[in-house]
Chains A and B, each alone.
Chain A
């Protein structure tokens, strides 16, 4: 079946460090790919998305590129801030799945001043 594998956490970085959170997927078909973020005490919210191969999603300094050849959608940010501390979820959705998403297990990021 469809699945999403994320880099295991937790990840701890110093402020202004470079961030990469790896995400790879397995899907029968051509999914749309998403990164959601969950700040402490809140629900998930969309961070960015890409709907076809080679698309780059970007938001708040975060970027991810849809790589069909490596079935990956790695999240990157050049300089993290303390306020980026959160749990990050990679997800995919397929047209054949009526809008249901498959989520990764989440990666907890802590940024220290």
Chain B
């Protein structure tokens, strides 16, 4: 079974802190994703990575950056956390083979971040 793990289930940070959210997948997938999930807004893509050191902005990249130094690990960074970044953050991965259009995305359990 594919496993996607996230470093924390719950996190509380203060405004202005630098925050790292880590995600690891164990299936040698090419693609990795960071989403945030807010009530009434569904899932919104923050960043996408299709290879090591390759990244692409999603729909809401402002205030976030990412790092992918190894294939299995994709980190989301909040350079200076703000209260409007309080949310559920979901990481996902997919194989990326054959263009990726039929790929299933495999999700981690999520990190609920609260910024005070």
Tell whether A95 pairs with B99 under 8 Å between CB atoms, given A89-B42, A103-B42, A103-B43: yes
Q: Contacts of B106 on A, CB cut-off 8 Å?
A: 45-46
Provide the bound-state CA to CA distance between A95 and B43, in Å.
20
* Contact call A42/B109, Cβ cutoff below 8 A: yes
Could you tell me the distance between the alpha carbons of A94 and B43 in the complex, rounded to whole angstroms?
17
- B27 within 8 Å of A by Cβ? no
B50 at the interface (CB under 8 A from A): yes
Shortest distance between the CB of A57 and any CB in chain B (Å): 11
Write the B73-116 contact mask toward A (1 if CB under 8 angstroms, else 0): 00000000000000000101010100111111111111000000
Give Cα A95 to B108, complex, Å. Answer: 24
- Bits for A17-51, please: 1 = Cβ < 8 Å to B, else 0: 00000000000000110101000011111100101
Q: A105 is contacted by which of B41, B92, B101 (Cβ under 8 Å)?
A: B41
Q: How large is the interface on B (under 10, 10 to 19, 20 to 34, 35 or more residues)?
A: 20 to 34
Contact A93 B103 (CB under 8 A): yes
Can you pick out 10 interface pairs between chain A and chain B where the beta carbons lie within 8 Å of each other? A36-B105, A44-B105, A45-B106, A46-B104, A46-B106, A89-B43, A99-B101, A99-B103, A100-B45, A101-B105
Binding site for A on B (CB under 8 A): 4, 31, 33, 40-43, 45, 48, 50, 56, 58, 90, 92, 94, 96, 99-110
Known: A43-B110, A89-B43. 19 other contacts (CB 8 A): A42-B109, A43-B90, A43-B92, A44-B105, A45-B106, A46-B105, A49-B104, A51-B101, A51-B102, A89-B42, A93-B100, A97-B100, A98-B99, A98-B100, A99-B96, A99-B101, A100-B45, A100-B48, A105-B42
